[in-house]
Structure 1
Amino acid sequence: MLPFEFIVEGTPLSHQTQNRNRLRAWQQTVRDAAIKYISQNAQPVKCQLQITVVYYHNGITVRMDNDNMVKPIQDALIGLVYIDDRQITDTRVRKTDLNGTFRVKGMSSVLAEGFCKGTEFLHIKIVEAPDHTEILQ
């Protein structure tokens, strides 16, 4: 099942939103998007994981903290991609203006699909976590 990647169209919702119904709806949107890309008989993985979330947006800045953007996404994938979000030991989050200039080598068909839509989207990729015997610097 790994690596696993998918896109979610639209603008993410912050974990700190006061509207819990909107938050649940956003998490369901993320889960539904993941289901479209997951293998039919796939089971949640049990290993340590790295998640990468890139929000391709319109405009130079986004007024949302990275950690508040990624938490609802992680929660939405519990029981579908992994058993528990505590398995995520490494997180990479980026916000990138869609109108930028990009140099791309080996773009996945999933990421290409996001760009072809021409609207804001998130690209989410989950892989097995790197070796933790190496110190991050």
Structure 2
Amino acid sequence: MIELIVVGRPKSLQSSTRSLDGWRQSVEEAARATIPHGPVYETGPVHACFHWFCDVSAARIPDLDNVLKPTFDALQALVFADDYQLTDIRAARIDLNSLSRDRSIAADWESWPTKLVSHFVLAEKLEEFVYLQIVDPPNLLEAPWLPQH
């Protein structure tokens, strides 16, 4: 499993070229810091979880679906060989203002990934950020919601 935290607001496909380039650079830097020697997933399908922690009351929040492509394009050749390998993406936009930073109150954090909790609790000033997980895909053919033959 690969875990990345990218600080900042993800950019939409409709953003300016300069803005998109800045976001892609941030994603690439986070990936290179975690995986210095190239893609872990060179072949085969991969699954991604994209959790965007943001202030939803801020003006001009980009659509969630429009920030996915620039982010995953930036990971190409760094985490996986080709974004075609992505077979399953789970995405969420989470309001930072709805979460308590007090660990004694946040009992739900026990089920959160350690890297995410550490970032959330230890940040002096909590800015918007994206938490990404890239993993081997679940076997969707065994999903309980599929009709049984």
Q: Which TM class, normalised by the smaller chain length?
A: 0.7 to 0.9
The CA deviation at 1:57 is: 0.9
TM-score, normalised on structure 1? Answer: 0.85
The residue correspondences of 1:1-137 to structure 2 (distance < 5 A) are: 3-17=1-15, 19-38=16-35, 40-41=36-37, 43-45=39-41, 46-60=43-57, 63-101=61-99, 103-115=108-120, 116-117=122-123, 118-135=126-143, 137=145
Q: Distance in 2 between matches of 1:29 and 1:20?
A: 14
Structure whose alpha-carbon radius of gyration is higher? 2
SS at match of 1:96: strand
Q: What amino acid is the match of 1:37?
A: T
TM-score, normalised on structure 2? Answer: 0.79
Q: What amino acid is the match of 1:109?
A: T
CA RMSD of aligned residues (A): 2.1
SS at match of 1:28: helix
Residue of structure 1 equivalent to 2:103: none
The CA deviation at 1:29 is: 1.0
8 Å CA contact 2:39–2:81 kept in 1: the answer is no
Structure 1 residues without counterparts, runs of 5 or longer:
none
**Count of paired positions:** 133
Structure 2 residues without counterparts, runs of 5 or longer:
100-105
8 Å CA contact 2:109–2:117 kept in 1: the answer is no
Sequence identity percentage: 31
Q: Distance in 2 between matches of 1:31 and 1:10?
A: 13
Q: Distance in 1 between matches of 2:38 and 2:30?
A: 15
Q: What amino acid is the match of 1:23?
A: L
Q: Distance in 1 between matches of 2:17 and 2:2?
A: 28
The CA deviation at 1:133 is: 1.6
More helix by share: 2
